[in-house]
Structure 1
Amino acid sequence: MKTKRENKSSATNVRSRDKLLKELSGIALMLSALFLISAILSFHPDDEALFGTLAWSDISSPLSRDVAESIHNPFGLLGARLSAFFIRSFLGYPAFLPGLALFYWGWSLLRFKSLKPALLFFLYSVIMAIDIAAMSGLTATPHSDVMAGAIGRMIAAMLSTLIGLTGAWVLLGVVAVGASFYMGRSIVSALQELLFSLNTVLARPFNAVRAWFDERRKKKEENDRLKAAKNQQKKKPPEKYSKKTDRKPTDSESEPFRSVPQEMDFDTASSVLPSFPEEPSVTEPDKGLPAGEPEMIIRKVVHEKEANLDERSLKVQTKDRVPYRFPSIDLLERGPDDDEEIDERQLAESKRKLLEKLSIYKIQVVRISTTVGPRVTLFEMELAPDVKVARVKSLENDLAMALAARGIRIIAPIPGKNAVGVEIPNGKPKTVWLRSVLQVERFKNSRLILPIVLGKTIANEVYIDDLTAMPHLLIAGATGAGKSVAINVIITSLLYACTPDKVKFVLIDPKRVELFHYQYLKNHFLVRFPGIEEQIITDPQKAVYALKCVEKEMEQRYERLEKAGVRNIGDYNRRFPAEFLPYLVVVVDELADLMITAGREVEEPITRIAQLARAVGIHLIVATQRPSVDIITGIIKANFPSRIAFQVASRVDSRTILDGSGAEQLLGNGDMLYQPVSLPKAIRIQGPYVSAQEVEAITTFIGGQHALNNMYVLPAGDMQKGNGLSSSGYQEKDGLDSMFADAARLVVMHQQASASLLQRRLRLGFSRASRVMDQLEFNGIVSRGDGSKPREVLINNEDSLELLLRNLND
């Protein structure tokens, strides 16, 4: 049996373990609460675009490290994810209130207090957080989303629907007042106890610091007293002694050798000992600095000659003699007057920091000049002959830290110049408006076939390129970086420069919301597809069919060029103006969605069109927000020599687009790197801004004009190649599908005809249903498709249909 001493010892050990466990739990809970509160309060909306495509399994990959460098939240990827979850998907910023309650809970465990007040405070904080989030969801302020969160908006919507907006405010106010009144006393007393405990704990180090300062002050007063006594002793007259050898030395003679009292400390002794003048130190000159600091030359920006586009001939005759009028430039917004003042103080400060950092690494700059652009400033530095360019390139991160700026890019060297370029963001960026880049002399009098405006360079020069010379364009970048705006700018440029006879568009929009404004162009600029009612393609399977139709159009155009004995569409149109072939611009706004859903079926026609379609006037503009190798495959990338890269999340994405880094340092909002065919390195351009209201105004103006008599219809695409239809029951007999008779009876019985009806009732795929619809049209059962209007059934009864079917079988 255990003795009483042993039982007491074991009980003491158990209590000690419990006490240690509570202390550790309290500390862990307090640290977790502090981290959670700090992460929530450090929320940054731009972080969601950076880690949105990063899976939790990639937390240790190089991609996550690249993303972490761009995160604004000081608590890294975990802090950014937690803040985005609590702000967007939970209760918004009021979610930090339960975090305070968790901190108080941990404090109670650490101090071995009762957990009842902590639990009460936790319930109160949760109720108040939900109440504040719901109140924020009832408002329409710009910050209501981050203050309400998903739960707050849901509760606000439910209450405003059930009891109205006023009733919701009253109910939430009553809940807040009632919870505060019912729990107020306990909460206030608990908070007072917490503050008192914190004050007691925090007062200890402050008291220790205060005591140390008091001790230092006393020592200083003692030193001052000793110095005053010494000075008083110096003022006494010296005593006279005989000229004997045993004379007493004077104070001045004995002063340097006077002993230090034992009770003095080192500081007091040092004040008593005499001070001798120090010899001046000789420092060698810094060999890394040039003999004289180079003078900075500020280059003048380009002033484009303005021109009024409305002064040209706006009204023209189309090929089918229907008049067409170009949209007026007044449909675009006029931006504020451009302030051309240059902040020379900021330039001088940036130059000083730049040269100072380079001098640390012994990099000598001989000459420096600057060019101030809309959003970035280019510093062109001519280096000493013995400086290697690679040394400057390796200092990109060090220069960014020295200048305290994001988006610094080093061009080493600048193509065609004996200089290295450093691009630094401006303190006050300027917005480039689409009207300002279209209303210039170069665009008005452009001789380019398909001129598109990309924006302004750093030298403030409007950059215009010809789509026929590209001949295809690949656009990539993160969400919100400016891809959709760039597509709107390109299409708008073509609408201001070309007539409906010259150019036609094939618009594929898997996101369904980016290109719907262009539906007003259906009677002028949009092509039509056999068997498809809509002219802006949003379904991935219909997108495959649309690309197959473009591929078929390309093959037929090559046959026409072969018969005419010409090499390209330009020669053909000059030789046969009556048979003018319009240029075809295929726009795909999100390639990633098509590659995920259709994969190989999309890649094959895109690759074939990109390889062959230039000579026949068909050009591709493809955009994607996922610049990964599984989306931008090697075959697609090889056939798109012209590329635009907007801001991306990592250096890997930049290499995927441009075969080099740089896009990860862009600033967003239209800041782009354009890699043309003719230049070895990318050009930094600030893309112009065009709003959705401006695009809608332009397309509405065009759509309100008389429709063209002859719509441009593409040939039906051959869907039998490489899509597995032969193994799914698709067979023809005498040129007709095996489901032709059933489809004819179905449309006659319902007196309506559409490909979707055949898909639902006969369980056919989209391509096969479209093919059957074409056969019904060819045999006179249904009318020709007219855009979005339903087809007309030409057979009125089933008896007439059976007669027609017997004749076809015979």
Structure 2
Amino acid sequence: MTQQTNSGNIFGGLSESRKMEIIGILIMAVGGLLGLSIITYDPGDFAVIQSLSNDSLFALDQGPVLRVQNALGIIGAYLAQFFVHLLFGYMSIIVPFFIISYGWFIFRDRDTSPLLWTTAYGIWSMVLFSTILGWMNINYDLVSSVWSGSSGIATAQGLQKFTAPVGSIIILTVFFITTLLAFLDRDLQQTVERCKEWIAGIKASFAEWKEKRRQRKEAKRKEKKQQEQQQKVEQQRKAERQAQQRTPKETQPQQQSRQEPERKEQQYQEPEEQDEGEDDSQSIADIVAKSQKQDRERIQQEKEDVQSLENRPRADIEKNKVAEAEEDDVDISVYVGEGDEQADEKELDKQNKDKAKEIPRVKYKFPTIDLLDSPPNEGNDVDLDEIKENKRIILDKLQRHNIEIRSINAIVGPTVTLYELDPAPDVKISKIESYANDLKMATAAKGLRIMAPIPGRSAVGIEVPNGARETVFIKTVINTKKFVESDHELPLAFGKTIENDVFMVDLTKMPHLLIAGATGSGKTVGINTIITCLLYKCHPDDLKFVMIDPKKIELSLYQKIEDHFLATLPGEDEPIVTDTTTAQETLESLTKEMDERYDLLKEGMVRNIQAYNEKFDNGELDEEEGHRHLPYIVVLIDELADLMMTAGKQIEEPIARLAQLARAVGIHLVVATQRPSVNVITGTIKANFPARMAYQVASKVDSRTILDTGGADQLIGRGDMLFTNGGGMTRIQNAFVSTEEVEEITDFIGNQKGYNKKYELPVLQDESSSGGDIPDPLEDIDELFESAAKVIVLHQQGSVSLLQRKLKIGYNRAGRIVDQLFNAGIVGPYQGSTARDVLVEDEEELEQVLDDLDEFER
């Protein structure tokens, strides 16, 4: 019993990581020795070890044992006989390879789950290839049995017995092709598409080679033809000289002056072939006449081409040109944006794995991209007939009012098409804008918006909804290089613009976001998009959410990530705040958290949360003095109107304070409402939210309330929105996140082991307590109560952070001591960001108060 305890103590002295390293090394050693025995297999070894007696078996330095060729000796011979001869031949080398891989992963303390697919694929490949080699050994004796093993030959014999040689080779070929495709990519459809792209690339290269070859032949043909033409010109000149000799001398100067320009023209024009019997002078005159006519036509055509190029407006951005049509005298060019380049299917997951390893405080796996729904294969086809019809209606309506348009560019987006009009120089832009309702009626559009002019462009824009709109799936937004390679602290990818570009911003730069939209316009889906983007890019050490949902159902799905991402008040059972009173306490607690963070930044002598966390992570700030890692806190309020109706000023004040001051300490607000009226979005709140997002609203008044301009009333719902950050206005189609996708993401995170302790916000002091009475909390006075009172009186500052620094205690304990000092009448009530007043002036008065407390206790 004593020996067991001692041995347990020996192993117990090792850390968990050291134990795993030792186990990993042992497993790699076993795999290496097994691989060595397989590689050095000799068919004669088994016959040798079968002939050994018990005595000679242990005589390793003499006798038959020395005839064993295996590098691992007798044990290696047995192992090689089992794996090579009985199992799958030399293909069994895959087994020690995987043993070494598992040992390496254990040694490096990595998750071995990624090896499961590779292991299953390797075992299947081992069986398949040994069977193929066994089939070749049975039918053609092409390979030795040591490559397939007895099991490979037996499998091939069984397959051939049931399906005949032809059927067995067809089955094995199909298995080989599918295994090869699975090796290239687990998604067979994607592999097929890649093969099709490869074949298409070969065809395109072949077509390009043919075109170059044709061009070379054409160049040689033209060169040959030019040489022939030069010979003909020389013959014509010779004929002219002969004709001049036959002409009377008095007419020679006149004819020479007439023929001189004719010769110049002949140098650049193709002469027509002459009949042998035709007169030389007559053929020359015909050639000159035809060349002059062709020259006039060519010059006229060049003038028209130059004029059309000068009148065509320049494109402001590079797009794919889909079609170009000309009707009457106005051109229309149709463009569809290429969109952002899609990232590799596993690129985001790989980056997140590396990021999770860099933060050792908790073992966490980021949600994978596979949890999101893939968009359907069919794309959004451009309806050219619809575009041409809208172009005809717009031109007809404007021409009736004597508004001349020189050209139109149509930019096709997921939801709307932007028609860029290039008006004549004498047209007033305000005149076009005044006909918005006429154009809306003429096009029968649900919502038509005019931008006169388009910001940054010398054109007027008319946005007309598409007849068939495209759904932007969240996967096509998140799985782009723009999002994956982003270095934003809190990246938000809302959706796609009209140009099909992913619209992405950094919440830390905004720094707060105000969202408004009528019921059913896509407001809650937009909030889910924001949360999804943050969950895919942020570690729970660096981000916490405070979710306030008066409707009680919209954000309820996120209860599952409580242990990882949610910050709550101490003692609260519900992680999602749904009660108005609790919401008020939570917001006031956030203001207290903000004040404490500013104290920490002041002590750390930094200006923002990034610099503070960098100092703390580098060990420049002492944790014993109250310093801690500060995660970003994103406060989500799904319905502000309900809170303002029930609490009013009590809700408005903490929101306004947070909006004014919380940016530097990493607290950011995302506030949404379906009623953007002035009594909900007050001037105090609105002034501190430069970033605003508007979905479809009911009236122009609501649009002006949220955006300070019209336009949101002309949106068409289902995620169609306008975004502004104090500058121009951007129209975006919000990315769609389904409820099922949210459930899969939250389940994936919630099933992981979370933090032992939730992230708690500061406790608020109950101001109704009076300092004159000695209430129950003084029955359990902290042992540092006296020391804390002396520190407070000495510095004349009733601050929790002061006690943290001087007494080297945590925040919660310092807060309880301050509460006890308040109940004892030593400090005053809570005053927000300002330190409490100290009611005791010196140490003598403090001694009197402490003596009174001792008498009361006795």
Q: TM-score, normalised by structure 1?
A: 0.54
Aligned to 1:346: 386
- SS of corresponding position for 1:346: helix
AA aligned opposite 1:460:
N
Deviation at 1:574, TM superposition (A): 2.1
Q: Is the 8 A contact 1:489 1:688 kept in 2?
A: yes
Unaligned runs of 5+ in 1: 1-289, 721-725, 745-770, 780-804
Counterpart in the other structure of 2:570: 530
Give the corresponding residue for 1:17: none
Distance in 2, Cα, partners of 1:719 & 1:659: 40
Name the structure 1 match of 2:674. Answer: 625
Correspondence for 1:589 among 622, 638, 644: 638
**Is the partner of 1:312 in helix, strand or coil?**
helix
CA offset digits 1:474-526 (Å, max 9, x no partner): 00010111111100100010000000011111111111001111111111111
The Cα shift of 1:606 comes to 0.1
Report deviation, 1:777: 14
State the match for 2:533 in structure 1.
Answer: 493
Deviation at 1:686, TM superposition (A): 0.3
Deviation at 1:528, TM superposition (A): 2.7
RMSD: 2.7
Q: Partner residue of 2:395?
A: 355
Contact 2:380 2:470 in 1 (8 A): no
Alignment partner, residue 709 of structure 1: 756
Q: Which amino acid aligns with 2:651?
A: V
CA distance in 2, matches of 1:383, 1:569: 51
Q: Which amino acid aligns with 2:341?
A: K
Q: Which residue of 330, 335, 340 corresponds with 2:370?
A: 330
Larger radius of gyration: 2
Can you list the C-alpha shifts for 1:284-334, whole angstroms capped at 9, x where unaligned?
xxxxxx996320111231232111323434262475632100001111111
Q: Deviations over 1:683-707 (max 9, x none)?
A: 1100011111111110111011111
Structure 1 counterpart of 2:515: 475
From the superposition, tell whether residues 706 and 403 of structure 1 become closer, same or farther in structure 2 (CA, over 3 Å).
same
Does the Cα contact within 8 Å between 1:546 and 1:717 map onto a contact in 2?
Answer: no
How far apart are the structure 1 equivalents of 2:704 and 2:476?
Answer: 32
Check if 1:643 corresponds to 2:683: no
Residue number in structure 1 paired with 2:338: 302
Query: Counterparts of 2:397 and 2:779 in 1: how far apart (Å)?
Result: 79
Q: 1:743 to 1:456 in 2, by over 3 A?
A: farther
User: Structure 1 residue 743: deviation in Å?
Assistant: 14
Structure 2 matches for 1:718-737, cutoff 5 A? 720=767, 726=768, 730-733=769-772
1:276 maps to none
Q: CA deviation at 1:590?
A: 0.4
How far off is 1:541 after superposition?
0.5
Tell me if the contact between 1:549 and 1:718 (Cα under 8 Å) persists in the aligned partners: no
Per-residue deviation at 1:341?
2.6
1:293 to 316, 329, 345: 329
2:331 aligned partner, one-letter code:
E
Match of 1:670 among 719, 730, 735: 719
Q: Using the alignment, how far apart are the partners of 2:409 and 2:522 within structure 1?
A: 30
Closer, same or farther in 2 for the Cα pair 1:533/1:320, shift >3 Å? farther
Distance 1:809 1:330 in 2: 64
After superposition, the Cα gap between the structure-2 partners of 1:446 and 1:362, relative to the gap in structure 1 and judged at 3 Å, is same
8 Å Cα contact 1:299-1:369 kept in structure 2 = yes
Structure 2 counterpart of 1:697, one-letter code: E
Aligned counterpart in structure 1 of residue 502 of structure 2, from 447, 462, 482: 462
**What number of residue pairs does the alignment pair up?**
457
Counterpart of 1:607 in 2: which secondary structure? helix
Matched, 1:652 2:701: yes
**SS, match of residue 523 in structure 1:** helix
- Distance of 2:573 and 2:778 partners within structure 1: 22
* Aligned mates of 1:291, 1:426 — CA distance in 2: 21
| Equivalent residue for 2:478, pick from 431, 434, 438 | 438
- State the distance in 2 between where 1:660 and 1:716 align: 42
Distance 1:363 1:383 in 2: 8
Residue 567 (structure 1) shift: 1.1
1:661-700 alpha-carbon deviations (Å, 9 max, x no partner): 11111111100011123x2x31110001111111111011
- Contact 1:548 1:718 (8 Å CA) reproduced: no
SS in 1 for 2:563: coil
1:611 corresponds in structure 2 to 660
Larger displacement relative to structure 2 (605-614 or 338-347): 338-347
Cα distance in 2 for partners of 1:743, 1:626 equals 49
1:385 partnered with 2:385: no
* 2:455 partner letter: P
- 1:698 alignment partner in structure 2: 745
Which of 557, 578, 584 pairs up with 1:544?
Answer: 584
Instruction: String of CA shifts for 1:545-589, please: whole Å, max 9, x gaps.
Output: 000111001101111111111111122122222543111100000
- How far apart, in 2, do the equivalents of 1:438 and 1:516 lie? 23
Which position in structure 2 is the counterpart of 1:689?
736
How many Å separate the matches in 2 of 1:743 and 1:668? Answer: 59
1:559 corresponds to 2:599: yes
Q: Pick the aligned partner of 1:509 from 524, 528, 549.
A: 549
Report how far residue 714 of structure 1 moved.
Answer: 1.6
Equivalent AA in structure 2 for residue 367 of structure 1: S
Contact 2:352–2:537 (Cα < 8 Å) also in 1 = no
Matching residue's letter, 1:485? V
**Residues 320 and 708 of structure 1 are in contact (CA less than 8 Å); yes or no, is this contact kept in structure 2?**
no
Higher helix share: 2
The one-letter amino acid of 1:660's match is: T
Per-residue deviation, residues 416-455 of structure 1 (Å, max 9, x unmatched): 0001100000011111111111111111110111001111
Name the CA distance, whole Å, in 1 between partners of 2:725 and 2:444.
31
* Residues 298 and 370 in structure 1, CA contact (< 8 A), matched pair in contact too: yes
Structural mapping, 1:212-223, within 5 Å: none
Identify the residue that residue 314 of structure 1 maps to in structure 2.
Answer: 353
Mapped pair 1:409 → 2:449: yes
Residue 711 (structure 1) shift: 3.0
Give runs of aligned pairs for residues 48-197 of structure 1, distance below 5 A. none
Instruction: Report if aligned partners of 1:550, 1:717 keep a CA contact under 8 Å in 2.
Output: no
Which stretch has the larger CA shift, 538-547 or 573-582? 573-582
Q: Deviations over 1:370-427 (max 9, x none)?
A: 1100110000111111111111111111100010111100011111000110000001
| SS of aligned partner of 1:484 | helix
Conservation of the 8 A alpha-carbon contact between 2:342 and 2:481: yes
C-alpha separation between the residues in 2 aligned to 1:306 and 1:741? Answer: 63
Rounded to whole Å, the distance in 2 between the matches of 1:719 and 1:497 is 38
Please, which runs of 5 or more residues in structure 2 have no aligned partner?
1-325, 620-627, 782-811, 821-852
Please tell me whether residue 452 in structure 1 is matched to residue 492 in structure 2.
yes
| Cα shift at 1:708 | 1.6
Indicate conservation of the 8 Å contact 1:557/1:616, yes or no. Answer: yes
Give the partner amino acid of 1:462.
Answer: V
Alignment-derived partner of residue 396 in structure 1: 436
Residue 631 of structure 1 aligns to a residue in which SS? coil
Cα 1:330–1:671, aligned 2, differ >3 Å: closer, same or farther? Answer: same
Partner of 1:213: none
Tell me by how many angstroms 1:532 deviates.
2.5
Distance 2:780 2:522 in 1: 46
Deviations 1:713-760 (A, max 9, x none): 22123564xxxxx5xxx42457x6x5769999xxxxxxxxxxxxxxxx
SS of the counterpart of 1:522? helix
